[in-house]
């Protein structure tokens, strides 16, 4: 079981209640064990981070990046965060909002490929 910062629980709950369109779109395709019978959790707190989606059996995080993730500051922050999660043995898949909203089938196929190759 992964440790988490309890102070982030209420923020995580708020994020679940206010999903972006891209998060809602992907959640509709991965919830209720639709991918290889594996559970995913939304806005999961892992240590001091909140990840968009997490599959604990495969130690796989899926991040949906909006425009704010493409600033120089956020790119550095995301790289640091990814490094910390990778050190816990967690693999991160990143997709942008546009990709999810316009090519959900391709995104889901890529996730499935990563689930079976892990």
Under 8 Å CB-to-CB from 55, ≥6 apart: which residues?
38, 39, 40, 41, 62, 115
Q: What is the DSSP secondary-structure string of 17-40?
A: HT--HHHHHHHHHHSTTTBTTB--
- Retrieve residue 40's tokens: 């995913």
pLDDT averaged over every residue in the chain: 93
pLDDT tens-place string over residues 22-56:
999 999 999 999 999 999 999 999 999 999 999 99
- Retrieve residue 108's tokens: 């889901």
pLDDT at residue 76 greater than cutoff 90: yes
Q: How far apart are CA 19 and CA 5, in angstroms?
A: 21
| CATH of the structural domain 6-113, one choice from 3.40.960.10, 3.90.1300.10, 3.40.50.280, 3.40.190.10 | 3.40.960.10
Q: What is the pLDDT of residue 84?
A: 96
pLDDT at residue 16 greater than cutoff 90: yes
Query: For the chain, which residues make up each domain, given as ranges?
Result: 6-113
**Contact of 64 with 99, CB cutoff 8 Å:** no
User: Of 44, 52, 37, which is closest to residue 2 (Cα–Cα)?
Assistant: 44
Q: How far apart are CA 114 and CA 35, in angstroms?
A: 11
Stated pTM of the model: 0.91
């Amino acid at each position: 079981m992964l440790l988490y910062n309890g102070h982030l629980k209420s923020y995580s709950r708020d994020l679940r209640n206010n999903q972006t369109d891209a998060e809602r779109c992907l959640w509709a395709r991965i919830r209720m064990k639709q991918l290889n019978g594996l559970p995913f959790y939304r806005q999961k707190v892992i240590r001091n981070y909140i990840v968009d989606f997490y599959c604990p059996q495969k130690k796989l995080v899926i991040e949906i990046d909006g425009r704010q993730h493409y600033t120089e500051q956020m790119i550095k922050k995301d790289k640091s965060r990814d490094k910390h999660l990778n050190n816990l043995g967690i693999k991160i898949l990143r997709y942008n909002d546009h990709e999810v909203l316009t090519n959900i089938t391709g995104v889901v196929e890529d996730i499935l490929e990563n689930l079976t190759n892990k």
